Structure 1
Amino acid sequence: MEDKSLTVEELVAQVGGKLLQGDGMTRLCGLNSLRDAEPGEVSFLGNASYLAQLETSRASAVLVAADFSGAAEGKALIGVENPTLAFSKVVEWFGVPDVLPPKGVHPRAMVGEGVEFDATKVSVAAGAFIGDGVQLGDGCVIHSGARIGAGARLGKDCVLHENAVVKQGCVLGNRVVIHSNSVIGSDGFGYQQVEGRHVKIPQKGIVQIDDDVEIGSCTTIDRARFGKTWIQEGTKIDNLVQIAHNCVIGRHCILVSQVGISGSTRLGDYVTMGGQVGVAGHLEIAGRSLILAKSGVTKSVTVPGAYTGFPAKPLMEGRKLLAYPGKVPDLQRRVKALEAKLAELEK
């Protein structure tokens, strides 16, 4: 196995930091959290709430903010502008490396007719499926088991991980990443009840995903009934998220695991939704809104801000409503006491 150890001085150069204290010749061979680090490992202080752990940590080196004025006995402290981001470089260095298929198209990949790509500038693994008329931009990486339906278009440097599916006609911009087992372009959930039976409404639109979107594992984004379901630039979507047909998700949104968004709802830019948020259909959510975990949005959000509860309310109002059930036992006791006093007075 390759020796990736390096000295503190070498790490300082790698992260563009400054050695605030400690021995620059200390050798580092791995990384860990402050709580779990052992001698020879590097960690980081990304949040002041972990300051106590810095004092007790056994790490040999710690990335801290450039203006950090504290001390930590026996440790090298490396000042950087943003410890969390700088530590990402350390993770890249010491972490498990990505395993990518080699450049070219593997002989056991299935490639349809009329596919447009430069085979010397893409990586298509064994078992990948590329349908007729697909367009792949330079730098695309298609892992084993991934499937691209007929007529789909992928821009440059897209990555489809194992068993990811981009169905027919869907369009991806540049640098889109789709993790394992996610499906882009499955049929929207549309039915009309006729004479007691559910009649399927054809779903013949597409999904368009713009540049720099990343989608976690086991997420589903349904194709539009007509037109497009649209995920705009820079949005990040966690695992196990469901986005229904004809939704529009604005730029640079964050959707955390188990968010469910019903059909034709539109999110503005920079909307954040916590885990298990549910959103009804045909609503509009104002840009820069924050919907806290497990909230249920039943009406459009017209004013940016933080919202919580079911139905979702502005944060302070929602917190008060959430607190009321906890007061019920005390209120019940007080009511019983008042009823007893009233009964005495009526005698």
Structure 2
Amino acid sequence: MEKTLQELAAFLHGTLENDDPAMRITGVNGLVEAGPSDISFAIPPYVEFCHKSRAGAMILAPGDRTLDRPVIRVDNPKQAFAELLELFRPQEEVARVISPLAYIAADAKIGNNVAVQPFVVVESGAEIGDNTVIYSHAYVGRHVKVGADCIIYPNATIRENCVIGDRDILQSGCVIGGDGFGFVTNNGKHNKVQQTGNVVLGDDVEVGCNSCIDRATVGSTVVGNGTKLDNLVHLGHNDVVGENNLFVAMVGIPGSVTIGNNNTFGGQAATVGHITIGNNNVMAARCGVIGNIGDNQVLAGFPSMSHVEWLRQQSKLRKIGELMKTVKELKKEIEALKKS
């Protein structure tokens, strides 16, 4: 595929500067990897380095630096880059057939234009929506409902009675609806509490590789529309997660936590159970939240505190060695004064 700069500017609804009518863009690439026939993008703080790129053209925001090469100005360069990736590198089309090597229960309901690859298992009472693709070795349990336009990658597991929304993506190795970690200790023995609920995923949810969302003890563990889980994320039983949240790798959320909308959890961030977190918060990497959180906060550290306070404390911690040296010197002076 090749496109003129004017065609790309129109596709992105952007403004073209320094047009080169003879230039043909044949690919999309990063700043370092891009060549003369590629288009790339830059956002702060990388805008200052884009002049060093070999890219034939750049995507920048209005007001960013001027370059001596073609530039397409758009409000969100990263979004534009993502759209061009889809244009130049569309996903390979999957054959919309049901493999004879798949096991599909007689009473399962399969929608139109669905792909089911070899060694998939679809249990009794399950429903698969239109245009959904299920890759080899995925498991769809009893009475599961999968929406339309979903992608279920190899070795993903959806346990019984769970509900998957439309346009959801389940990456390899994820488990939706495994038992919650529920036990009652009696006379020193840990007795299992049956986990009788399910998991309900909204629309446009993505669950990364080897992430787990546990089924509720009773009721539902809920993940709202547009929420994205990275790899190795754990959501405990009876969690209720709102819309458009981001969970970076290795985040751990125990049971019965309520999370609002538009929150971001950095890598290895975690909370205690049975708390409520509001909307529009950012929990930095390895942040440990031990109590209820309101809205519009940026938190870091353990126990969690404002990011500004955490930076202040970290600055002071760096001076502990110097402080200890001063204390030792003062102790020597005090001992000398006592002897005099």
TM-score (norm 1): 0.92
> CA RMSD for the aligned pairs?
1.8
Partner amino acid for 1:11?
L
d(CA) in 1 for partners of 2:64, 2:277 = 40
d(CA) in 2 for partners of 1:322, 1:51 = 29
Asked whether the 8 Å contact 2:47–2:65 carries over to 1, the reply is no
Extract unaligned runs of 5+ from structure 1. Answer: none
Judging changes above 3 Å, is the alpha-carbon distance between structure 1 residues 26 and 316 closer, same or farther for their aligned structure 2 residues?
same
Instruction: Provide, for residues 221-263 of structure 1, a one-character-per-residue CA deviation record: whole Å limited to 9, x for no partner.
Output: 0001111111111111111100111111111111111000011
d(CA) in 2 for partners of 1:288, 1:78 = 31
TM superposition shift of 1:115: 1.0
1:275 aligns with 2:267: yes
Partner amino acid for 2:148?
K
Aligned structure 1 segments of 4 or more residues deviating by more than 4 angstroms: 66-69
Partner amino acid for 1:187?
D
Partner residue in 2 for 1:77:
71
Partner residue in 1 for 2:204:
212
Partner residue in 1 for 2:138:
146
Asked whether the 8 Å contact 1:101–1:143 carries over to 2, the reply is no
Secondary structure at the counterpart of residue 177 of structure 2? strand
Judging changes above 3 Å, is the alpha-carbon distance between structure 1 residues 69 and 292 closer, same or farther for their aligned structure 2 residues?
closer
Secondary structure at the counterpart of residue 210 of structure 2? coil
Pairwise mapping of residues 42-81 of structure 1 onto structure 2 (< 5 A)? Answer: 42-45=39-42, 47-68=43-64, 70-72=66-68, 75-81=69-75
Partner amino acid for 1:279?
T
Asked whether the 8 Å contact 1:309–1:322 carries over to 2, the reply is no
Judging changes above 3 Å, is the alpha-carbon distance between structure 1 residues 107 and 101 closer, same or farther for their aligned structure 2 residues?
farther
Aligned length: 339
TM superposition shift of 1:291: 0.9
Partner residue in 1 for 2:35:
38
Pairwise mapping of residues 40-189 of structure 1 onto structure 2 (< 5 A)? Answer: 40-45=37-42, 47-68=43-64, 70-72=66-68, 75-95=69-89, 97-118=90-111, 120-189=112-181
Instruction: Provide, for residues 8-52 of structure 1, a one-character-per-residue CA deviation record: whole Å limited to 9, x for no partner.
Output: 33333332333210312212222222223222221112x132233
Instruction: Provide, for residues 93-143 of structure 1, a one-character-per-residue CA deviation record: whole Å limited to 9, x for no partner.
Output: 333x4234322322222101211233x432212221111000112122111
d(CA) in 2 for partners of 1:81, 1:326 = 40
Secondary structure at the counterpart of residue 27 of structure 1? coil
d(CA) in 2 for partners of 1:135, 1:244 = 25
Extract unaligned runs of 5+ from structure 2. Answer: none
d(CA) in 2 for partners of 1:172, 1:51 = 40
Secondary structure at the counterpart of residue 110 of structure 2? coil
Partner amino acid for 1:237?
L
Partner amino acid for 2:73?
G
Partner residue in 2 for 1:19:
16
Identity of aligned residues (%): 34
Asked whether the 8 Å contact 1:309–1:319 carries over to 2, the reply is no
Partner residue in 1 for 2:228:
236
Asked whether the 8 Å contact 2:280–2:295 carries over to 1, the reply is no
1:227 aligns with 2:223: no
Instruction: Provide, for residues 259-294 of structure 1, a one-character-per-residue CA deviation record: whole Å limited to 9, x for no partner.
Output: 000111111111211110011111111222211111
TM superposition shift of 1:191: 1.7
